[in-house]
Amino acid sequence: METGFITVFWYFVIAAMVVPLMLGVGWLLRPKAKYVGKEGLAYECGEDPVGSPWIKFNIRFYVIAIVFIIFDVELVAIYPVATMFKSAVLAGNGGLIFAEIFLFVGLLVAGLMYCWVRGDLEWVKGISGPKRKEKVNA
Amino acid sequence: MNQSAAFAHTLQSWTSQLPILSAFPLWAWAAISALGVIFLLALPFGGLATYVERKIAADIQDRIGPNRVGPIGIFQFAADAVKMLAKEDFVPPGGDRFLFNLAPLFVVVGALAAFAALPLGKHLVGADLNIGIFYIISVTTLIAPGLLLGSWGSQNKWSLLGGLRAAAQIVSYEIPVALAILPVILISGTLQVGSIVEQQGWGVGDYHFWNIIHNPFTIISFFLLFIGGLAETNRIPFDLPEAESELVSGFNTEFSGMRFGLYALGEFVDVFVMSAVLTTVYLGGWQLPFFNIDQWVIPLPTGIVALVHFTVFMTKTLLLVFVVMWLRWTLPRLRVDQLMGLCWKGMVPLALINVTGTALWMWIFKGQSLMQLLAKAFGG
Amino acid sequence: MTNGMKLVLFGAEVLTVLCALIATFHPNVLYGAIALLITFLGVAVMYVFAGADFLAGAQVIVYVGGVTILILFAIMLTQWLYQMKLRDVGTKLLAPILIGAGLFYVLAKALLDINPKFLSDNAEPAQKFLMTPKTALLGEALLGSYLLPFEAITILLLGALVGAVWIARPR
């Protein structure tokens, strides 16, 4: 392991201490009041909240997260290859790595094009894909 | 090309002649450097940024802005801090107390820990890791789960919607951000921040000047990284997670007092980190334009070099922070479908073209930058 | 390794195992996900100590920034999971233990086959290995002897992407 990670360790420790420190100082200073009346209710611009606060939401969020993970893994795989590129170019055999990067980008584009054409990247068109042609109310 | 050094090593060598301080081991200096950067740079920046942002907003809108506390209201941030500390502590009774407390921890640690790898100067890199820039990308991902958990624990519909939007937006824009940094990795051949900045110096040899004008593709990449950074930090025009006209205040609706303060601090520090990353990878970090202080005829003491480097780095970074604040009063907010469309249909394809283009340029011109080619062509 | 570093490593190990146990046995699945997040971070710390700094970064990016978000989205989408108390202990304990023990045996065997001196502390080559940067070596390996697996992984990921969005698409 590198010595630099000792510094990283201290950064993590001190950054994690900032939160309890600030909340702790506040705890010493502020009044210790109990919540009065409807103070404990969720803030909804003065109305009493109706129904569960944990609402149903769009499945799009999940699809975006899946697409993200796939791209993320490919990116992580290409970073070490990218660090090799300069020395390979200077040594005169940049062709292999260039082909490699080109292939990588090509496959990413293929995946992206598939999602694009099939309408998986659309946010508001409804979840059944590009065939539906309703008016969008954004 | 001489190596950049960690802050802790620099401190140790500076104090090697002093009586008590010379006995400090390296890990103690590492802790002191971390303490110094967080408490003397990051936290004061977070505080002052709130004041500066209000002042810039006032100037742009032809108002006066905060002007009561101290001359031109300069101590407004201190007054705000006291107010936040003294406010009643509110935890939604129907919510999830544990998650509510945990969320600011993730946000603050994710933003502050990134400072460890920022190259504030040649001798002032907190930790000059081999994976430097990769480390910064990876620790800032801690923010997204934090925002999501905090919004879930808030027992509030608006909070949850804001948190979901924040998480989806941050993860989506991580792809264009990482792809926009990739050309620099191709150019520099390393992930080490010190080495990336060192190569952007002015001079003959392996120096290829600022990466932004290395080739035509990197100029586009710079702007992609800037836009992606805005989205990662939830700044306008990408502040949908906090859209006050639809979600009250978004993921921080139920956060008040110091808890809100910690969220705000995390956001401003994240803006600084994003600007610092831009400075490091594209704007030459601590390097002065058209002048290399390391290759000056008289070798300067490290103290002065460090001071110059730090000033140059901070000037560039704070200029970018200013642009971020300026944009807030210039651009309208995007719609959520536009946001995702811009990311996946605009920035990701463009970033992929840039990566391929930069690789092609490197291959054809044997890794030379535009500046180096011009210098060769004109014999300078 | 100094004693302080050993202490940090030990702390990270204890935290990782503890959070793994919480992730397995906690009745609230959301808390399990948070414990899993901390387990991922603990594993990243162990990668750092093993000298695999790039892998540690990749672990945080992919697992903490990606997989955890995906799991949290999944839990939040089916919000009744949050209120439900899940208990699944006792009946299905044998199979996981067997699988875990088997995996441990395979990994330990592979590790000791590569470097028999792995268990001896402070061996000189091990120390040297831990200090060398490995990102470029990793890139070299991916372009050299592991070129074909690397390409296969890229295509596998493409397949995974197509499959995942196909499943998520309602019919």
pLDDT tens digit string along B140-177?
888 889 888 888 888 888 888 888 888 888 888 988 99
The helix/strand/coil state of B6 is strand
Q: Span B98-121, mean pLDDT?
A: 88
Rounded-to-10 torsion of CA B283, B287, B288, B292: -140
Place of tokens 């003294």: B86
Task: Give pLDDT, residue B3.
Answer: 54
B171 — contact with chain C (CB < 8 Å)?
A: yes
**Structural contact between residues B112 and B269, judged by C-beta atoms closer than 8 angstroms:** yes
* Longest pairwise C-alpha distance within chain B: 73
Rounded CA-CA distance B336/B333 in Å is 9
**Structural contact between residues B269 and B42, judged by C-beta atoms closer than 8 angstroms:** yes
B28 — contact with chain A (CB < 8 Å)?
A: no
Q: Helix-strand-coil percent breakdown of chain C, rounded to 5?
A: 80, 0, 20
* Tens-place pLDDT, residues B195-221: 888 888 877 777 788 888 888 888 899
Which long-range contacts does B52-55 make (Cβ < 8 Å, 24+ apart)? B52/B325, B53/B325, B53/B328
Retrieve residue B158's tokens. 């608006």
Rounded CA-CA distance B169/B237 in Å is 12
Task: Give pLDDT, residue B276.
Answer: 92
* Tens-place pLDDT, residues A24-76: 888 888 877 777 777 777 777 777 777 776 777 767 777 778 888 888 888 88
Retrieve residue B272's tokens. 């600084």
Which helix (DSSP H) or strand (DSSP E) does residue A27 occupy? helix A4-29
- Judged by CB atoms within 8 Å, which residues 25-84 of A form the interface with C? 52, 54-57, 59, 61-63, 65-70, 72-74, 76-77, 79-84
CB-CB neighbours of A125 under 10 Å:
16
- Judged by CB atoms within 8 Å, which residues 14-53 of C form the interface with A? 48-51, 53
CB-CB neighbours of A130 under 10 Å:
13
Nearest Cα neighbor of C93 from C167, C21, C37 is C21
Q: How large is the C-alpha radius of gyration of chain B? A: 22
Rounded CA-CA distance B130/A45 in Å is 50
**Structural contact between residues C15 and C34, judged by C-beta atoms closer than 8 angstroms:** no
- pLDDT of C103 > 90? The answer is yes
Task: Give pLDDT, residue C81.
Answer: 62
Q: Is A35 left (phi over 0), alpha (psi -120 to 50) or beta?
A: beta
Distance from CA of A138 to the nearest CA of C (A): 21
Q: Which residues pair with B125 in a beta bridge?
A: B6, B119
